[in-house]
């Protein structure tokens, strides 16, 4: 479908406000989901959890988030961005606060599942908002700003949460971070009250063509390339996001107030990795490589960067370990950005959303498996070595899978042939 879009007059400031609101909403999304992992030393001392029990919190979150992806698109389409996103933030904020009242594994799991279901709305709502309210010339910039917010949330959380917990108690950390969502809701409701959709006029082909059902897409080797790559690599992101604070505490005998700073360093480097991919692929295209070679060369470079990850196990201090793990997440974010770019290149436009959703579902499920495996490994005396070795090799395996499924990446969306 070809279409032109006309932005309502006098709406630019409101649209910029929308981008800012979704940016902060996404940052809160990642802040709230990290609180539990950052409080593990304190909570484990209070509740005497095993590592396997702690792993259940992470895996239940991932599984709930994975299957929520099947319905959140319908939910946002049905109720609209303004109400749908607002309700989701209210629910996940309440779920975050509910952790403060939990006193058993089952109650913490229930809070995590509710948090996951509501937080799954964030990305579809952000993309829907961009498509509905931002004209094409503003949309790429808007989505880029919004996409960076996950790293901001992951940086702020380890700096703030341990301080709150040590000063006011672990319950206060859940209550305060959850309450921020209701402050955000006030600005959301006021800031979007006069927002107007972009006027869309169809100019060419019939707009009735829809993406094929998932059962048809799963037989496409392009879809399999994306699903396999996400399955192999997303588990690394979820593993580090959930277990990094415990790794620093366990490996270097850090207390509750000391684990936040090395964790924050990891996510500063992750943010840099996301930005770097936006330069590397276009640079390779500019040097005369075709899209296939440039994309795979980019992925190969990032896959090599994560190979030193197991050296973090032998680092002399937490700062050296943070730099090594941060380099790994730098590589993950660069590789992941290339997966999204590859999808936009090779998958017909009407199918991109479905293929990305399928990849995200697979990545969440593999992440759940990795979190459970980590809990078992730690309780069984194997430590972090198996997970670090698996993470280091995941990206070369993912690139090999992509090349097996797509020996030559063929760009099918002509608008995407330009450098990113």
What are residue 4's phi and psi, to 5 degrees?
-110, 155
Choice between 155 and 312, residue whose per-residue pLDDT is larger? 312
Residues 307 and 295 sit within 8 Å (Cβ to Cβ):
no
Q: What is the pLDDT of residue 351?
A: 80
pLDDT band per the 50, 70, 90 thresholds, residue 12 = confident
Percent of the chain predicted with pLDDT > 70? 89
Which range (81-90, 238-247, 410-419) has the least confidence?
410-419
Tell me the two tokens of residue 149.
Answer: 């917010």
pLDDT at 308 over 50: yes
Which 8-state DSSP code applies to residue 165?
A: H
Identical fold between 1-209 and 211-411: yes
Residues 388 and 312 sit within 8 Å (Cβ to Cβ):
yes
Give the separation between CA 341 and CA 224, rounded to whole angstroms.
15
Choice between 206 and 125, residue whose per-residue pLDDT is larger? 125
The Cα-based distances of 403 to 3, 226, 354, 411 in angstroms read 34, 11, 21, 15
Residues 159 and 37 sit within 8 Å (Cβ to Cβ):
no
What contacts 118, CB < 8 A, 6 or more positions away? 88, 89, 91, 92, 95
What are residue 152's phi and psi, to 5 degrees?
-65, -45
pLDDT band per the 50, 70, 90 thresholds, residue 165 = very high
Q: What is the pLDDT of residue 144?
A: 63
Q: What is the pLDDT of residue 15?
A: 84
Choice between 279 and 200, residue whose per-residue pLDDT is larger? 279
Q: What is the pLDDT of residue 1?
A: 46
pLDDT band per the 50, 70, 90 thresholds, residue 211 = low
Give which of 420, 127, 123, 130 is closest to 276, Cα–Cα: 420
pLDDT band per the 50, 70, 90 thresholds, residue 210 = low
Q: What is the mean pLDDT of residues 7-36?
A: 85
Q: What is the pLDDT of residue 356?
A: 82
Give which of 98, 88, 93 is closest to 118, Cα–Cα: 88
For residue 202, the cross-strand partners are 3
Residues 395 and 233 sit within 8 Å (Cβ to Cβ):
yes
pLDDT band per the 50, 70, 90 thresholds, residue 16 = confident
pLDDT band per the 50, 70, 90 thresholds, residue 81 = confident
Domain positions in the chain are 1-209, 211-411
Q: Provide the 3-class DSSP secondary structure of residue 89.
A: helix
Q: What is the pLDDT of residue 227?
A: 96
Q: What is the pLDDT of residue 204?
A: 45
What is the DSSP code string of 178-234? HHHHHHHHHHHHHHTTT--PPEEEE-SS-TT--PPPHHHHTTSHHHHHHHHHHHHHH
Give the separation between CA 245 and CA 163, rounded to whole angstroms.
14
Which of 10-14, 351-355, 386-390 shows the highest mean pLDDT?
Answer: 386-390
Q: Provide the 3-class DSSP secondary structure of residue 3.
A: strand
What contacts 404, CB < 8 A, 6 or more positions away? none
Which range (72-76, 136-140, 331-335) has the least confidence?
136-140
Give which of 185, 88, 81 is closest to 132, Cα–Cα: 81
Distance, C-alpha 336 to centroid of its chain: 10
Which 8-state DSSP code applies to residue 11?
A: -
Class of domain 1-209: mainly alpha
Q: What is the pLDDT of residue 378?
A: 97
For residue 200, the cross-strand partners are 5
The Cα-based distances of 192 to 14, 108, 127, 306 in angstroms read 7, 34, 16, 42
Give which of 140, 154, 160 is closest to 333, Cα–Cα: 154
What are residue 5's phi and psi, to 5 degrees?
-130, 135
Give which of 114, 358, 24 is closest to 220, Cα–Cα: 358
Residues 279 and 343 sit within 8 Å (Cβ to Cβ):
no
* pLDDT 10s digits, 341-383: 888 788 887 787 788 888 989 999 999 999 999 999 999 999 9
Residues 62 and 116 sit within 8 Å (Cβ to Cβ):
yes
Provide the CATH topology of domain 211-411: Growth Hormone; Chain: A; (1.20.1250)
pLDDT band per the 50, 70, 90 thresholds, residue 9 = low
The four Cα atoms 99, 103, 108, 114 give a dihedral, to 10 degrees, of -60
Q: What is the pLDDT of residue 266?
A: 95
* pLDDT 10s digits, 93-139: 999 999 999 998 899 999 999 999 999 988 888 877 877 787 766 66
């Amino acid at each position: 479908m070809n279409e032109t879009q006309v932005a309502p007059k006098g709406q630019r400031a409101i649209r910029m406000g929308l981008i800012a609101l979704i940016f902060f909403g996404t940052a809160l999304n990642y802040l709230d989901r990290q609180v539990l992992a950052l409080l593990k030393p304190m909570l484990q001392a209070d509740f005497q959890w095993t590592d396997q029990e702690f792993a259940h919190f992470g895996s239940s979150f991932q599984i709930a988030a994975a299957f929520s992806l099947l319905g959140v698109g319908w939910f946002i389409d049905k109720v609209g961005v303004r109400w749908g996103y607002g309700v989701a933030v209210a629910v996940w904020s309440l779920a975050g606060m509910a952790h403060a009242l939990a006193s058993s594994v089952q109650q913490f799991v229930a809070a995590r599942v509710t948090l996951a279901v509501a937080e799954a709305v964030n990305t579809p709502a952000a993309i829907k908002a961009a498509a509905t309210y931002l004209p094409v010339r503003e949309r790429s910039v808007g989505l880029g700003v919004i996409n960076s917010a996950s790293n901001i949330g992951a940086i702020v959380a380890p700096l703030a949460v341990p301080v709150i917990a040590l000063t006011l108690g672990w319950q206060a950390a859940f209550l305060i971070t959850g309450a921020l969502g209701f402050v955000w809701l006030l600005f959301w409701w006021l800031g979007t009250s006069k927002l107007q959709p972009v006027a869309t006029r169809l100019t060419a082909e019939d707009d009735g063509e829809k993406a094929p059902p998932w059962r048809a897409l799963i037989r496409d080797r392009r879809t399999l390339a994306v699903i396999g790559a996400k399955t192999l690599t997303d588990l690394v992101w979820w593993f580090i996001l959930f277990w990094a604070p415990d790794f620093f505490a366990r490996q270097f005998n850090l207390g509750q107030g000391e684990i936040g700073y090395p964790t924050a360093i990891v996510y500063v480097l992750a943010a840099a990795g996301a930005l770097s991919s936006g330069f590397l692929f276009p640079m390779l295209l500019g040097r005369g490589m075709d899209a296939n070679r440039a994309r795979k060369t980019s992925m190969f470079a990032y896959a090599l960067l994560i190979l030193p990850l197991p050296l973090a196990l032998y680092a002399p201090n937490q700062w050296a370990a943070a730099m090594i793990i941060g380099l790994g997440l730098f590589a993950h974010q660069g590789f992941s950005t290339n997966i999204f770019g590859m999808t936009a290149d090779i998958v017909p436009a009407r199918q991109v959303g479905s293929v990305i959703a399928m990849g995200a579902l697979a990545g969440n499920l593999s992440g759940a498996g990795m979190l459970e495996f980590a809990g078992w490994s730690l309780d069984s005396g194997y430590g972090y070595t198996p997970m670090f070795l698996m993470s280091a090799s995941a990206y070369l395996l993912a690139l090999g899978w992509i090349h097996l499924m797509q020996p030559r990446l063929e760009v099918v969306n002509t608008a995407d042939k330009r450098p990113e």
